[in-house]
């Protein structure tokens, strides 16, 4: 009877805790605290304790399997966190990782979260693993969960931590200086607060303030930190000067030859007041970044690449909120780069002596912060240099501008309201010198949640205007004038608009959304943003069921049905319809499976493939099955996979792809992963990059094979020192089986075969980096790069061979480029320098 009563009391207590927001009082200290993982100072014994953690995963609402005790103290310079995580020391997982790299690693970790303005939307995360490797992230209302949406990890702050393994488990001690936070100057403050513990052997995530997986949002489920008094935001001024040098040897035959690299510059962070910070980079050097995953792009749309440059990834969540900022536009390949090479190849008397492939960035700055009334303000500005190519015809040099002096600017106003609602105003502008193309885009976005955080209404409106010369780099007129050809063409200003409205249910087991989106024919945000398709109307709906409680064999599962009807905006005509049904199952052994069935049940009118305004080609209806999943990532051997098979309403037109990743953890310091992807489309219909003499487009029925092999690995010497390696080979083979003209109604019309149109396309890159964070914020990076091709990434189209093996062998035999660099960054905090004096 007593056992039954105790069990009932425990369940009642768990339910009470799960439904209540928690609060912890901070304790002020005047005693210096040494960050050594020992918690030996007297204040740790008297400070209030946070405990009784609750599971988020795998058993939501249940008590944590191991006890955790956390205390917070503070002084005039920093906030300190001391955590005792009870456990069997032999069971604590201890894999070393790179900074921000603990996901799917075999390591336990602990996090503290702060919502310093207590607006239930924005926050900071500071995480430390059992091996004392740090992770930090910025959170916003867009980040909805801890397992699949963990915040902006590109943000790196300067803070201290130390861990220690004890007979009772492990201990975490953290010091987070106020220069790494933003908060008001109020005499008495109340912050949002959350703690999370991850026990790797159980794949268990525990929170101090209970987080319900069926409720949308994370920051809005924080508890509170009280009793913060008389703390003042410090003068947040830090400098990060750097020096870099190296040598770059281009492939044999490239005009650049050997380049000696040397550069120096500085990043500056200046807290203008309690809430706003100015970040600036002066004469930046972005040489030590991972190479892009270049592909053979047969589509009518631009390939969107990931941003790897730190300045454009750190602290940009406000500028990215409206989706109008694609930072790769800044410092990209000059607009006239390809035209110079094409002109020289068609005019043999001209030789290219210099044609820079990257636009030089003079400087860039970010101003951002949030007022006491929850108004977020952001200003971004960057200036790029004019770029010149140099040609010679045997008699004289000719200089051609491939990119003008350009200014990029973004202004954002983001008003947050209670309950995760917000309204955001965004304006982007691009101004180029002379008569080159300029652009301006203005957007207004809103998100409104009901009081229970169950329903959401979102919407957006955009207006774009483009004016100036086309092409924007002015290359055509310049180069043609140089060789006494006709002038370039002046294009009149044009404008366009985009609108979107969505309503949905985002909490509970059942979720649904209905959405309408419209993009006018001349809506164009691409000078600073990214949009692959305009002149389109979409009607989208989806409904999903999510089961968060486990069954006999499953931890959780979900199902989702989606429908997307698309129409051309002008003239308003049917374009296509897509349907998909997805099921996801996570098993008790931590294996997961995902199955998607879908396709287009009717023939599609593709208005973009022909690259001809007003013309469309009929694309066959198709269906597909997608099966993917992964094994238990706690194991040394971890496998993820995805298989896709599709068939269209045309004979002999199957498509399949197989993507497999195999990761093996050799030790707590060394792990390697091999990823292999093969795609085979036996009957792809697409634009053949050819036209009839009257300008009519020609399409082809082609067989396309793509193979990507990617090997990556990391060896961690210490929590602050590691060596990473990444090698990628990509092969694409295109073989045309037949060619067709296209009738006015989109049907295929027979035409004679055009020989010698197939080709192989290869890309090869190796990136290796040795990184040592020798003190907080200061770093030494040694880099090595190897690449194939006349420039950094793109290989020529003339490598031919039979099959993947021959192409790989030919690729390795061709001349490669090599680069070795060394970069040293020093972090200088004004407050530390002042205290030393």
pLDDT tens digits along 202-224: 999 999 999 999 998 899 999 99
Which pLDDT score is estimated for 490?
A: 43
Does 303 map to a domain?
A: no
- 580 exposure class (CB count in 10 Å sphere: 0-12, 13-18, 19+): middle
Give domain status of residue 753, yes or no: no
Place of tokens 């501008």: 401
C-alpha–C-alpha distance, residues 604 and 607, integer Å: 9
Strand arrangement of the beta sheet that strand 78-86 belongs to: 27-28, 68-74, 78-86, 169-177, 160-166
Q: Alpha carbon of 401 to those of 62, 202, 332, 356, 383: distances in Å? A: 66, 60, 15, 11, 16
606-614 long-range contacts, CB within 8 A, separation 24+:
606/575, 606/576, 607/535, 607/568, 607/575, 608/300, 608/301, 608/533, 609/300, 609/686, 609/687, 609/699, 610/687, 610/697, 610/699, 610/742, 611/300, 611/687, 611/697, 612/697
Is the separation of the CB atoms in 540 and 515 below 8 Å? yes
Q: Distance between terminal CA atoms of the chain? A: 69
pTM over 0.85: yes
- CATH at residue 179: 2.60.40.1190
Q: Above 50 in pLDDT, residue 378?
A: yes
- Band of residue 472 on the pLDDT scale cut at 50, 70, 90: very low
Q: Is residue 209 part of a domain?
A: yes
Assess whether pLDDT exceeds 80 at residue 164.
yes
Q: Is 694 exposed, middle or buried (0-12, 13-18, 19+ CB in 10 A)?
A: exposed
Burial of 750 (0-12, 13-18, 19+ CB in 10 A): exposed
Look up residue 830 and give its two tokens. 């004004």
Q: Which residues of 191-207 are buried (b: 16+ CB within 10 A; e: fewer)?
A: bbbbbbbbbbebbbbbb
Of 229, 252, 277, the domain-final residue: 229
Residue-wise pLDDT for 381-430, tens only, equals: 999 999 999 888 878 888 889 999 999 999 999 999 988 899 999 999 99
| Nearest of 191, 114, 124 to residue 152 by alpha carbon | 124
Final residue before a domain boundary, out of 212, 229, 246: 229
Distances (CA, A) of 577 to 340, 399, 519, 599, 809: 41, 50, 17, 8, 43
3-state secondary structure 263-300: EEEEEEEEECCCCEEEEEEECCCCCCCCCCCCCCCCCC
Q: Please, are residues 820 and 802 in contact by the beta-carbon 8 Å criterion?
A: no
Mean pLDDT of the region 140-149: 62
The span from the CA of 739 to the CA of 754, in Å, is 7
Q: 343 and 223: one domain? A: no
Residue 396 in any domain: the answer is yes
Residue 706 to residue 296: CA distance in whole angstroms: 9
Q: Look at residue 479 in the predicted model and tell me its pLDDT.
A: 28
- Angle 831-835-837 (CA atoms, 0-180°, nearest 5)? 120
Phi, psi of 37 (to 5 degrees): 75, 15
Residue 540 and residue 562 in contact, taking contact as beta carbons nearer than 8 Å: yes
pLDDT of residue 37 exceeding 50 = yes
Looking at residue 149, its pLDDT comes to 59
Please report which confidence band the pLDDT of residue 475 belongs to, taking 50, 70 and 90 as the band edges: very low
The Cα 181–Cα 174 span in angstroms is: 14
342 vs 66, residue with greater confidence: 66
Contact 308, 217 (CB under 8 A): no
d(CA 86, CA 72): 18
Q: What is the pLDDT of residue 832?
A: 77
In whole angstroms, what is the distance from residue 303 CA to residue 234 CA? 43
Peptide bond into 471 cis (omega under 30): yes
Measure the CA–CA gap between 324 and 320, rounded to whole angstroms: 7
Task: Show Cβ contacts of residue 404 under 8 Å, excluding neighbours closer than 6 positions.
Answer: 386, 432, 433, 434, 436, 472, 473, 474
pLDDT digits (tens, 9 = 90+) for 771-787: 999 998 999 999 999 99
CB 328 within 8 A of CB 305: yes
217 and 355 inside one domain: no
Interval 237-291: pLDDT, tens: 999 999 999 999 988 776 667 889 999 999 999 988 888 899 999 888 787 889 9
Residue 529's pLDDT band (cuts 50, 70, 90): very high
Neighbours of 448 (CB within 10 A): 16
Mean pLDDT of the chain: 89
- Euclidean distance between CA atoms 31 and 39, whole angstroms: 12
Do the beta carbons of residue 68 and residue 48 sit within 8 Å? no
Higher pLDDT, 798 or 637: 637
- Token duo for residue 22: 């928690």
Asked whether 498 and 520 are in contact (CB, 8 A), the reply is: yes
**With contact defined as beta carbons under 8 Å apart, do 609 and 687 qualify?**
yes
The answer to whether the CB of 460 falls within 8 A of the CB of 500 is yes
244 inside domain: no
Phi and psi based region of residue 246 (left: phi greater than 0; alpha: psi -120 to 50; beta: remaining): left
- Three-state DSSP at 388 gives strand
640 in any annotated domain = no
SS3 of 534, please? coil
Could you give phi then psi for residue 305, rounded to 5 degrees? -100, 155
Please give the pLDDT value at position 145: 55
Q: Give me the residue label for tokens 């989109």.
A: 746
How does pLDDT run across 714-750, given as a tens digit for each residue?
999 999 999 999 999 999 999 999 999 999 999 999 9
Residues 88, 207, single domain; the answer is yes
Q: Is residue 359 in a domain?
A: yes
- Structural domain that includes position 118: 18-229
Q: Which pLDDT tens digit goes with each residue over 665-723? A: 999 999 999 999 999 999 999 999 999 999 999 999 999 999 999 999 999 999 999 99
pLDDT bracket for residue 315 (50, 70, 90): confident
641 has a pLDDT exceeding 60: yes
Cα–Cα distance measured from residue 355 to residue 389, given in angstroms and rounded to the nearest whole number: 4
60 and 187 in a common domain: yes
Under the banding of pLDDT at 50, 70 and 90, the label for residue 114 is very high
The token pair that represents 239 in the structure block: 């400098």
Two tokens at 691?
């036209």
Residues 133/115, Cβ–Cβ less than 8 Å: no
**Where are any strands of DSSP class E within 230-272?**
237-249, 258-271
* Count of residues in the chain: 837
Q: Which helix (H) or strand (E) holds 490?
A: strand 490-505
Q: For residues 713 and 101, what is the distance between their CA atoms, to the nearest angstrom? A: 12
**CA-CA distance, 24 to 293, in Å (whole number)?**
47
Which SS3 state, helix, strand or coil, does residue 312 take? helix
The token duo for 379 is 């200003």
pLDDT given at position 280: 94
**Helix runs in 347-483, H state only:** 475-482
Q: Cβ distance 363 to 283 under 8 Å?
A: yes
* Residue 279 belongs to some domain of the structure: no
Q: With DSSP H G I counted as helix, E B as strand and the rest as coil, what are the percentages for the chain, rounded to 5?
A: 10, 50, 40
Structure tokens given for 414: 């983001």
Low-confidence winner among 309-323, 543-557, 814-828 (lowest mean pLDDT): 309-323
3-state per-residue secondary structure call for 155-212:
CCCCCEEEEEEECCEEEEEEEEEHHHCCCCCCCEEEEEEEEEEEEHHHCEEEECCCCC
Number of domains within the chain = 2
What is the C-alpha to C-alpha distance for residues 363 and 358, in angstroms, rounded to an integer?
15
837 exposed, middle or buried (CB, 10 Å; 0-12, 13-18, 19+)? exposed
Residue 104 has pLDDT above 90, yes or no: no
What are φ and ψ of residue 201, in 5° steps? Answer: -65, -25
Q: Which of 186, 212, 229 is the last residue of a domain?
A: 229
> C-alpha angle 265/266/269, rounded to 5°?
165
């Amino acid at each position: 009877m007593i056992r039954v009563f105790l069990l009932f009391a425990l369940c009642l207590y768990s339910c009470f805790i799960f439904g209540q927001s928690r609060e912890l009082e901070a304790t002020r200290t005047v005693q210096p605290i040494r960050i050594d993982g020992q918690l030996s100072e007297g204040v740790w014994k008297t400070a209030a304790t946070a405990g009784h953690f609750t599971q988020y995963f795998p058993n939501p609402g249940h008590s944590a399997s191991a006890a955790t005790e956390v205390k917070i103290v503070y002084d005039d310079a920093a906030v300190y966190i001391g955590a005792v995580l009870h456990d069997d020391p032999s069971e604590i997982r201890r894999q070393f990782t790179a900074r921000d790299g603990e996901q799917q690693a075999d390591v336990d970790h602990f996090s503290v979260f702060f919502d310093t303005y207590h607006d239930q939307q924005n926050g900071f995360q500071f995480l430390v693993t059992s091996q004392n490797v740090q992770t930090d992230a910025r959170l916003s209302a867009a980040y909805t969960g801890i397992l699949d949406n963990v915040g902006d990890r590109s943000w790196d702050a300067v803070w201290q931590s130390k861990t220690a393994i004890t007979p009772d488990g492990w201990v975490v001690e953290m010091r987070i200086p106020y220069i790494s936070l933003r908060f008001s100057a109020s005499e008495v403050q109340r912050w949002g607060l959350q703690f999370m513990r991850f026990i790797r052997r159980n794949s268990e995530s525990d929170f101090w303030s209970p987080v319900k997986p069926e409720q949308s949002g994370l920051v809005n489920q924080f508890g509170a930190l009280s009793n913060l008094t008389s703390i003042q935001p410090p003068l947040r001024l830090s400098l990060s000067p750097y020096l870099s040098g190296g040598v770059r040897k281009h492939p044999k035959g490239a005009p650049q030859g050997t380049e000696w690299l040397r550069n120096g510059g500085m990043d500056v962070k200046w807290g203008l007041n309690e809430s706003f910070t100015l970040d600036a980079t002066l004469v930046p050097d972005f040489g030590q970044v991972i190479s892009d995953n270049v592909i053979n792009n047969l589509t009518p749309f631009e390939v969107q690449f990931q941003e790897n440059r730190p300045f454009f990834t750190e602290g940009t969540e406000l500028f990215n909120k409206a989706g109008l900022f694609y930072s790769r536009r800044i410092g990209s390949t000059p607009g006239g780069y390809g035209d110079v090479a094409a002109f020289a190849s068609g005019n043999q008397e001209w030789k290219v002596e210099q044609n820079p492939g990257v636009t030089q960035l003079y400087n860039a700055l970010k101003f951002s912060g949030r007022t006491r009334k929850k108004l977020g303000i952001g200003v971004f500005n960057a200036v790029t240099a004019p770029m010149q190519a140099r040609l010679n015809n045997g008699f004289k040099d000719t200089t051609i501008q491939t990119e003008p002096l350009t200014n990029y600017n973004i202004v954002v106003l983001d008003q947050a309201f209670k309950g995760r609602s917000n309204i955001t105003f965004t304006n982007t502008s691009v101004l180029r010198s002379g008569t080159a193309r300029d652009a301006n885009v203005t957007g207004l976005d809103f998100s409104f949640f009901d009081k229970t955080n169950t329903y959401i209404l979102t919407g957006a409106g955009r207006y774009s205007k483009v004016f100036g010369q086309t092409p924007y780099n002015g290359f055509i007129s310049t180069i043609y004038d140089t060789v006494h050809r006709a002038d370039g063409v002046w294009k009149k200003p044009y404008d366009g608009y985009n609108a979107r409205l969505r309503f949905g249910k985002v909490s509970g087991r059942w979720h649904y959304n209905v959405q309408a989106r419209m993009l006018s024919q001349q809506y164009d945000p691409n000078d600073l943003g990214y949009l692959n398709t305009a002149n389109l109307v979409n009607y989208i709906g989806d409904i999903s069921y999510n089961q968060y409680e486990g069954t006999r064999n499953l931890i959780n599962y979900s199902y989702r049905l989606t429908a997307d009807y698309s129409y051309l905006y002008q003239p308003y005509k049917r374009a296509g319809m897509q349907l998909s049904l997805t099921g996801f199952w996570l098993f008790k052994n931590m294996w997961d499976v995902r199955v998607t069935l879908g396709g287009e049940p009717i023939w599609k009118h593709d208005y973009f493939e022909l690259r001809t305004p007003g013309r469309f080609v009929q694309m066959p209806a198709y269906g597909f099955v997608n099966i993917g999943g992964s094994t238990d990532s706690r194991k040394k051997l971890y496998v993820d996979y995805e298989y896709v098979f599709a068939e269209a309403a045309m004979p002999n037109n199957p498509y399949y792809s197989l993507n497999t990743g195999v990761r093996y953890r050799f030790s707590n310091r060394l792990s390697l992963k091999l990823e292999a992807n093969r795609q085979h489309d036996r009957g792809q219909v697409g634009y053949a990059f050819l036209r009839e003499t009257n300008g009519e487009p020609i399409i082809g029925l082609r067989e396309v094979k793509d193979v990507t092999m990617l090997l990556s690995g990391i060896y961690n010497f210490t929590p602050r020192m590691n060596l990473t390696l990444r090698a990628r080979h990509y092969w694409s083979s295109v073989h045309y089986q037949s060619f067709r003209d296209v009738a006015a109604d989109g049907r295929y019309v027979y035409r004679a075969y055009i020989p010698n149109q197939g080709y192989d396309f290869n890309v090869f890159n190796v990136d290796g980096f040795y990184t040592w964070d020798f003190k907080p914020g200061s770093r030494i990076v040694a880099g090595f790069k190897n690449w194939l091709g006349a420039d950094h990434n793109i290989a020529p189209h003339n490598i031919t061979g039979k099959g993947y093996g021959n192409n790989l062998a030919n690729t390795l035999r061709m001349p490669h480029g090599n680069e070795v660099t060394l970069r040293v960054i020093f972090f200088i905090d004004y407050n530390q320098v002042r205290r030393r004096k």
